[in-house]
Structure 1
Amino acid sequence: MRKIRGEEWKPVPSVAGYEVSSLGRVRKEYLHGYKEVPAHVGTGGHLVFNAKIEVGWFTTKRVARCVAEAFCPGFMPEMRVWLKDGNKKNCRVDNIELETMSTIMKKVLK
């Protein structure tokens, strides 16, 4: 896995054994290091990845939400992730805001 200058990694609180970077990349921890987890475009155009939660069981997680969980202070599960530039594939921490549903509706209906 290539290193990128300025990239910071933090664990994803909701999925054990996975880390997300400030640039929106995902990796899984193995015995002898880390391996990048491929992300793909899921329903609604959001960037997602499949996380193994136990033997034979996977869950699909949105990359932007995992970045928010790891990097945004004050993250709460009921908060919504708002991508500032509207690009659902740009999951960098500097492109993410946490909003309530009512605040998002006000932005959309302007």
Structure 2
Amino acid sequence: MMNLLSRTSVLAAALFALSFPALAQSKKYEKKVEVAGSTYRVAVRDRVVTVSKKAFVVAFTMDERDRMREAATKVTGCRVYDEFPNGAKLKAKLDCSTPVPH
């Protein structure tokens, strides 16, 4: 009986995941990278990147934006576009169709 119950649970979970393709196919990874002496956390999900800096206070200046963009490019190798600040984070879309010159 228990074996049948566990098989049913696994089957139900698989059917649930397949019913939501975005959940089943979503790729996400995170990596830390150093830019200009600061450490940034770069999280990528599909074609959207989120870059954050762990600090008590982050002044979001154009220089900070450029460093966050550089961090995203270092991790992904893709061009960053349509970015917008979200508090101490930067969210942007990735264009990986052309390689970024280093």
TM-score exceeds 0.5: no
In proportion to residue count, which structure has more helix?
2
TM-score (norm 2): 0.37
Please tell me whether Structure 1 or Structure 2 has the larger radius of gyration of its CA atoms: 2
TM-score (norm 1): 0.35
